[in-house]
Amino acid sequence: MDSQSDNPLLEVSDLTVAFGGRPVVHGISFAIRQGQTLGLVGESGSGKSATSLALLRLLPPSAQVTGSITFAGQNLLALPEPEMRRQRGSGIAMIFQEPMSALNPAMTVGQQIAEAVQAHHPEMDRNAIKKKVLEAMHDVALPDPAARFGHYPHQFSGGQRQRILIAMALVNRPRLLIADEPTTALDVTVQAQILELLASLRRSHSLAMLFISHDLAVVAQACGQPGDQVAVMQHGRIVEQAPAAELFRAPQHPYTRRLLASTPTMQTDRGLPLASLA
Ligand SMILES: Nc1ncnc2c1ncn2[C@@H]1O[C@H](COP(=O)(O)OP(=O)(O)OP(=O)(O)O)[C@@H](O)[C@H]1O
Ligand SMILES: [Mg+2]
């Protein structure tokens, strides 16, 4: 088992993604161990989502992907599609930025989480599935799962919908969670609650996480445990990677410094304009 050895759970090496011959991710490499979070930060268009979609092989066929992606000892880029489908959800799960568009408005949330279970456990009967769904809703602290099982997405708040997506992502107990801007659509208070939830789920599930954001302050919160790393992406390249605490204390790359300078802190003089990323 790689959990007992020194092998990382995910190892990405020299990954390149190109569209029509134009590379948008240029030979990036990183690794994530069980229980560890890697924060991937960079401005809009730097290639963060292209990277995360490449890991799950969810890019359109027009994308050319090269390099290697090893997950739990398997080369994902060489995996036949049926096995890749098995990995999606049960090995690696993903939550997206927009909780409303990722949910089906015409299906109850209970049914939607149940479908995620069924996809990986066709042998399970209705009662066993429902029990698993209620447990997952409970895990993400949705109030009164039994009563809310039959409700539709529009009957939940934005933060609750994001909790439903997290429940759906984690119901099959994946080992790696990819969270691509999971809090960007939420207001600051709800954002903090979701970050706390992810932190507690990491501990209870010993989950590895790739946490993607354009916002360094959010990445700092998501990468708050010892051993967590942050990688800074600019124009498709990782320009700096370091343990989270170190990167925030002593950023080395000029781009990281500019990103940090453009993040307001408690010490920021609110009378002055924020530094720009030009
Ligand atoms: N399907 C596609 N076809 C062509 N180009 C694409 C496609 N998807 C992404 N790109 C291009 O790849 C580059 C990186 O996009 P990506 O979505 O990875 O950025 P990002 O870092 O996730 O940005 P954001 O913070 O806005 O989400 C952009 O220039 C984008 O236009
Ligand atoms: Mg993106």
Q: How far is the CA of 50 from the centre of ligand 1 (A)?
A: 6
Per-residue pLDDT of the chain (278 residues; tens, 9 = 90+): 444 457 899 999 999 999 999 999 999 999 999 999 999 999 999 999 999 999 999 999 999 999 999 999 999 999 999 999 999 989 999 998 777 788 999 999 999 999 999 999 999 999 999 999 999 999 999 999 999 999 999 999 989 999 999 999 999 999 999 999 998 888 888 999 999 999 999 999 889 999 999 999 999 999 999 999 999 999 999 999 999 999 999 999 999 999 888 776 555 555 555 555 54
Residue 16 lies in a domain: yes
Residue 276 lies in a domain: no
Residue finishing a domain among 116, 150, 173: 173
In angstroms, rounded to a whole number, what is the distance separating the alpha carbons of residues 120 and 83? 11
Count the Cβ atoms, other than its own, within 10 Å of residue 4. 7
Q: What is the pLDDT of residue 186?
A: 86
Minimal-distance CA residue to ligand 1 atom 24: 44
Residue 162 lies in a domain: yes
> Which ligand lies nearest the alpha carbon of 25?
1
Pocket test for ligand 1, best of 41, 49, 213, 233 (most atoms within 8 A of CB): 49
Residue 270 lies in a domain: no
Minimal-distance CA residue to ligand 1 atom 7: 19
Q: How far is the CA of 236 from the centre of ligand 1 (A)?
A: 10
Single-letter code of the amino acid located at 212: I
Q: Tell if the pTM clears 0.95, that is, is over it.
A: no
Q: How many distinct structural domains can be found in the chain?
A: 2
Same domain, 29 and 78: yes
In angstroms, rounded to a whole number, what is the distance separating the alpha carbons of residues 243 and 225? 10
Same domain, 16 and 36: yes
Q: What is the CATH number of the domain that holds 250?
A: 3.40.50.300
The 3-class secondary structure across the chain, one letter per residue, is CCCCCCCCCEEEEEEEEEECCEEEEEEEEEEECCCCEEEEECCCCCCHHHHHHHHCCCCCCCEEEEEEEEECCEEHHHCCHHHHHHHHHHCEEEECCCCCCCCCCCCCHHHHHHHHHHHHCCCCCHHHHHHHHHHHHHHCCCCCHHHHCCCCHHHCCHHHHHHHHHHHHHCCCCCEEEEECCCCCCCHHHHHHHHHHHHHHHHHHCCEEEEEECCHHHHHHHCCCCCCEEEEEECCEEEEEEEHHHHHHCCCCHHHHHHHHCCCCCCCCCCCCCCCCC
Q: What is the pLDDT of residue 101?
A: 82
Same domain, 159 and 22: no
Range of the domain at 39: 1-91+175-182+208-263
Same domain, 34 and 163: no
Residue 269 lies in a domain: no
Q: What is the pLDDT of residue 1?
A: 45
Same domain, 74 and 103: no
Same domain, 43 and 75: yes
Neighbours of ion ligand 2 (CB under 5 A): 48-49
